[in-house]
Structure formats: C-alpha cells, structure tokens
Amino acid sequence: MTGAAGSGRRVPAGHVPVPGPRTWPDGTGGASAGRVQGPGPGVALLYEKSRPGRRAGTLPSYPLAKVEVPEGLRRSAPPRLPEVSEPDLVRHFTALSARNYGVDTGFYPLGSCTMKHNPRVGERLAALPGFRDLHPHQELDGCQGALDLMWRLQVLLAEVAGLDAVTLQPAAGSQGELLGLMLVRACLAARGESGRAEVIVPDTAHGTNPASVAMAGFDVVPVATDARGNVDVGEVRARVSGRTAALMLTNPSTLGLFDEGVEELTRLVHDAGGLCYYDGANLNAVCGISRPGDMGFDIVHFNLHKTFATPHGGGGPGAGPLAVTAELEPFLPVPVLVRRADGSFALEREAERPLSVGQVRGFPGPFGVLVRAYAFLRAWGPGLREMSQAAVLNANYLLARLRDAYELPYDRLCMHELVLSARNLKRDHGVSALDVAKRLMDYGFHPPTIYFPLVVPEALMIEPTETESKETLDAFADAMLAIAREAQTDPQLVRSAPHATVVKRLDEARAVKQPIVRHRFDP
Amino acid sequence: MESYPEELLYHPEHDWARVEGDEATLGITWHAQDALGEVVHYEPPEIGASIVKDEGYGELESVKAVSDVIAPLSGEVLEVNLRVTEEPELVNDDPHGEGWLVRIRLSDPSEAETLLDAAAYRASLASA
C-alpha cells in the first residue's frame, strides 16, 4: 500500500440530521459559549413543510399570449416544488444557518486552508456600485476603473512573487496549476524541448499537484521527504534528467516546514533544463519575507481566497492568479490586460499575442474576490510581512503548547501551520486523530485537517492564521490538552464524540457507500 | 486482531501474497487496513491485465484517502474478488482471508524470494 493521491480529508455526505438533545459537556468552560444555539432537535426538510397552495410570493397576472408548447414536450404533471409561506421559508434557512460553523462563528484551524478573518472593509469596497454592477460585456471605456484595479493587483502580486508578469485569469489554485503546466509545455516547445515529459512532485504535495500533472499530459515523478522534513535533495539529483519538464513544490510544505534545500532544488532542475513551479497554497507564511522568484521559481500560483482574505464562504469563490518570469510572459492566456502610453487600459487578444496558450476562462474574476484581495494588500501595504510573521508566531505558539501531549514528527520551528501526530494516543489508548477532531467539536472548535499530509500517520494539521488572539489560541490549546488527558482517563468519551452537536458521530463509510442525495417523496 | 499468518509472504508496502504453484493470491495486510481505516471502495484491475511487482495494480478508498495497492509480485490477473467490490469492509474484517483482492499467474516465480516472511514483516513494523 502507498498513499498516492488526494487530500486525506473527506467531507461526509448524504446524512439526514438526527434529532438529539443539545447538552454541553461539563467542565469545558466557556469554549462552547460562542456557539449559536441550534433550532432544536431536527430540522424538517422544506418538502416536509410543504402544503398545497402555499406561496412565499405572488405575481400579478399579465395579459400575455399563452405560449403554445408542443404536445409531446409538455409536462404530464406540475413539478414537485415545495410550497411554503415566506415566514416558513425564512425560518427554515435561518435555522439551517444557525447550525453552520464558519470563520465568523469561531476558530477554524483547518490546515492548508488559511481560514483567516475576512475584513469587512473589503466587503464595502466590493459593493461599490461601479464594481458591483459591472456587466461582463461592459465596453472597455466604461470599466477603466475596474481594469485599473486589476492592473494594480497584478503589480502587487508580481512584487509578492518576485516575478515579472501576472495573469488574473485562473478561477482557482487548481486551474492555476493546470495553466502553469500548460505554460511549461509552451515554453519547452519554444525552446525546442517538447520531449520533456516528467514533472517531479514531492510526496507531501497537495493531491491537486499530481492530478494537474496528469491532466496536463505529463508523467508524475514522486520524490520522498527526508528525516528533517525537507524534500530529499539526493533523490531529486538522481531523478532529474533530459526528460525533466518541471518541479512542482509547495514551500513551506504541507508539513508546515520551510524547505531548507529549496535553492539547491531549483538549481538542480534548472541545470537539467526544467522549469520550477511554486504552489502558493502556503504563501501566507512568507509574504514580504522571502519571494518564490528569489528562490528560483519560474511560475507561482496564488490562492487569493486563502492568503489575501475571502476564505471559503467569506465572500464567494476562489481566484488563482499566476505570476511568471519574462520568458514565460508571451505564453500567458488572452485576453492580456495592458496599460497604454496614455494611461488607459486595454485587452490584447490572439492577434497581438500569437504565442498565447489561449483563453482558459470566459471572463476575469470572480471580480469581487479581486477587489477584496487588492483592498487587503493595500491595507497591509509595505507591512505585509507582519501578516506572515504573526501567522508563523501563532503556529509556533500552538506548537510549543501542544508538543508534549502529541507527537511532533519533525522537531523544528514551523511556519504558518504545524503538523502533529496522534500516533501516541492511538497506540496507548486507541484514540485516533479522527476521534480527537470529533471531540474538538464538543469544545466548540472547528477541527483541523486530519490524515494529511499522508507521510505523517494520524496527522493533525493545524493552521491558526494571523488573525487569532492569544486568548483564542490558548482556549484551543487548552481543549487539545484536555482531549489528550481524556484519551487516558476516559478514551470511550473521545472515541464516541461528538456529544454536543446536533448530528453525532457519522457512519462515514455508509455515507460513502449508501449516500442519500435526494429527497424521496414516497415512503 | 493484529496477526500475520506464517504461510503468507509480505511486501514492505504492506501487501501479502499466498503463492500456490505458479499462481498467487494478493491482498493488503492487517497493518495496511488499520492505517487506512474503513474501506469504502475497491477499484480492481481488469482480468487479463499485467501487473508489475512494486507498482500499483488497483485502488482502495477509505474514509481517509485513496491509495494505490502495490503488487508484491508480477503476473497476469486471473480473477478479482468481486465480493470485495460489493462489500469493501471485508478488507477490514478479514484482510488475509475473505478480503483478498486478486489472483494472478506469476510471470516470474523467483520474485517471491525477495519478499519477507511473517517474522521479518513484524520486525519491520516494530522498527517503523
């Protein structure tokens, strides 16, 4: 067996909420006090609240001609939509939202997701009418301000990356990865080196890296992690060759460790004729301190929705811009945003960009995410490095408080996140990382990422971000330490957690094998 | 319970082989299923496919991760355990028996000499 692909974390699917009492465990102090009281046992589905003829709104009748639908295309029965009144509708979704947990509800240390606070000033700016009401087909002379913002964001991202040119086109980190590998292919072809087919990917990589490599038509060459948690330089040296197209590296790695051999790695790959791709998933650790371009990387993707506000659910979907060297700039996807000599902005298309890999997305954006990222970067300004310093400090504070209760697979200063192992609890008390994660919910915290990276058994991957106070970090550390004690004194309590949530321990295997993905009208 | 039958041969990537003449039955070890957690899906190879020692020949998905299953020996797939595709939990319940994954015709029976016996495999787990 070997861990090969995919993130370890899975979202349980297909479970109907089970009614149950809401009782907080004794002795957990105020940790759970921040939780919103749920709507009571069980929330009925809208379909179950439906009564024939009820409406949340009525439309006036219009004197329009009746559209004649051909007989064969007509429905035989009206659609079975739920029929409810407006108050019932509002209460239904309010009840569901009160059961949600997000960064605005409490601490959310989901490793590698950078669930930081989403500043409200960004919301205000994204809601400005000139931004909010833009149409995707707006003529260019009517959206110069929006293009100006995109231009300025590109300039800032190029500076953070230490590279020459930026495209805002990719819609997510995963699309940035795929586009980056398309640029590698285009660049190698221009060099007359199309035969290079291998991309080196460390065993700590996010699952998207090998997936993107395969999707882009390259072969994955996995390399191992050494005893200090760095990429094994000797193995890379043995693996690079005339077949090497690129190296994909996340730095700091998913172990939360800065790769001490990074300059040697990029030099080895460059000397062999390959390109170096920096996965920006963990960029929150190094902004304004070290730049991927200075480490020797040719291509960098950003996750604007991690590093520069708008975490999952904090303002919408993601954005995965790419920064590249001057050599790769001609291959960037069209349309390319340019500033003319008179200061106005224009978009260059295929005719002006003959070497472009083409368009990878219909429109720029999500534009609101770009506005929030720009606002975030301007708010920090030249002090951006303090953001990363605080993120690293917070992670090391948790590391110092938790290192005696949990195993520390690599005993080094960490960066923006720390990876612990519950292997000691599993060996001594039969309490797994999953059990610890479930028990944390009883203490009112979102669990960390678990079972990833795959090279650490019983992994707990904790990313506090820079926006948490010492009090919050202490409350989380206290809960983690309490759970480690409970594993000794009452392991069954931990193994059967959570006890204080609306939905108890899920049968995750059954949820995968027998998912209930739709409402059944007939019993 | 954790145990490793004496009659099986073991691969360091936590796979076992039961060699019978020029055929062998393959599966994953108790340790592997324990590390994976509850198995929810088995993606078997096709019958007739060639599998190569030390390389992946199928996939097991657990509630934690999707993992390649590594071939302890090379050969041609004669049979896959269709019961496991229906009831993947057999891999957890009986990894060295009912939870077997494929039966192959060995292309190089001498490869078996490179595998570990039960004592050596147990020792490798203890030192990990």
Contact A2 B70 (CB under 8 A): yes
How much of chain A, in percent, has pLDDT values that exceed 90?
78
Contact B38 A10 (CB under 8 A): no
For residue range A117-153, what is the model confidence (pLDDT) as tens digits?
A: 999 999 999 999 999 999 989 999 999 999 999 999 9
Interface of B with A in 96-115 (CB under 8 A): none
Provide the pLDDT for residue A316: 59
Domain boundary among A360, A382, A404: A382
Q: Over 90: is that where the pLDDT of A26 sits?
A: no
Mean pLDDT, residues A225-229 taken together: 96
Residues A140, A254, single domain; the answer is yes
Contact B63 A508 (CB under 8 A): yes
| Averaged confidence pLDDT in chain A | 90
Domain boundary among A382, A398, A417: A382
For residue range B107-122, what is the model confidence (pLDDT) as tens digits?
A: 999 999 999 999 999 9
Q: Is residue A303 part of a domain?
A: yes
Residues A320, A274, single domain; the answer is yes
Mean pLDDT, residues A222-239 taken together: 97
A10 touches chain B (CB under 8 A): yes
Number of domains in chain A: 2
B14 touches chain A (CB under 8 A): yes
Q: Over 50: is that where the pLDDT of A13 sits?
A: no
Distance between B93 CA and the closest CA of chain A, angstroms: 14
Contact list, A508 vs chain B (CB under 8 Å): 38, 40, 63
What architecture is the B9-123 domain classified under in CATH? Beta Barrel (2.40)
Residues A194, A147, single domain; the answer is yes
CB A231 within 8 A of CB A264: no
Strand ranges (DSSP E) for A432-487?
449-450, 459-462
Residues A336, A471, single domain; the answer is no
CATH code for the domain in which residue A264 is found: 3.40.640.10
Provide the pLDDT for residue A2: 43
Q: Is residue A53 part of a domain?
A: no
Contact list, B56 vs chain A (CB under 8 Å): 2, 4
Residues A364, A410, single domain; the answer is no
- Nearest CB to B68 within list A2, A452, A512: A2
Provide the pLDDT for residue A314: 56
Burial level of A85, CB count in 10 A (0-12/13-18/19+)? middle
Provide the pLDDT for residue B128: 65
Residues A201, A291, single domain; the answer is yes
For residue range A415-439, what is the model confidence (pLDDT) as tens digits?
A: 999 999 999 999 999 999 999 999 9
- In this prediction the pTM is 0.85
For residue range A353-374, what is the model confidence (pLDDT) as tens digits?
A: 999 999 999 887 789 999 999 9
- Nearest CB to A2 within list B37, B40, B67: B67
Q: Over 60: is that where the pLDDT of A3 sits?
A: no
Residues A216, A126, single domain; the answer is yes
B60 touches chain A (CB under 8 A): yes
Parent domain of A395: 384-500
B64 touches chain A (CB under 8 A): yes
Q: Is residue A519 part of a domain?
A: no
SS (H, E, C) A315-358: CCCCCCCEEECCCCHHHCCCCEEEECCCCCEEEECCCCCCCCCC
Domain boundary among A358, A382, A406: A382
CATH code for the domain in which residue A465 is found: 3.90.1150.10
- Nearest CB to B38 within list A2, A457, A509: A509
Q: Over 70: is that where the pLDDT of A12 sits?
A: no
- Nearest CB to B28 within list A1, A434, A513: A1
Ranges in chain B, pLDDT < 50: none
Provide the pLDDT for residue A219: 97
Take residue A140 and report the two structure tokens written for it.
């260019």
Mean pLDDT, residues A168-185 taken together: 96
Residues A432, A405, single domain; the answer is yes
B41 touches chain A (CB under 8 A): yes
Q: Which residue has the tokens 């005696």?
A: A404
Residues A217, A337, single domain; the answer is yes
Provide the pLDDT for residue A523: 61
- Nearest CB to A4 within list B36, B64, B68: B68
Contact B64 A8 (CB under 8 A): yes
Residues A145, A292, single domain; the answer is yes
Beta-carbon contacts below 8 Å between A and B: 57
CB A287 within 8 A of CB A388: yes
For residue A398, the one-letter residue type is L
Residues A353, A389, single domain; the answer is no
For residue range A388-403, what is the model confidence (pLDDT) as tens digits?
A: 999 999 999 999 999 9
Residues A263, A408, single domain; the answer is no
| DSSP H or E stretch at residue B102 | strand B102-106
What are the extents of the domains in chain B?
9-123
Q: What is the ipTM of this complex?
A: 0.73
Closest B-chain CA to A510: B40
Query: Among A108, A464, A14, A90, which residue's Cα sits nearest to residue A314?
Result: A108
B28 touches chain A (CB under 8 A): yes
Q: Is residue A89 part of a domain?
A: no
Contact A457 B35 (CB under 8 A): yes
For residue range A70-96, what is the model confidence (pLDDT) as tens digits?
A: 999 999 998 889 999 999 999 999 999
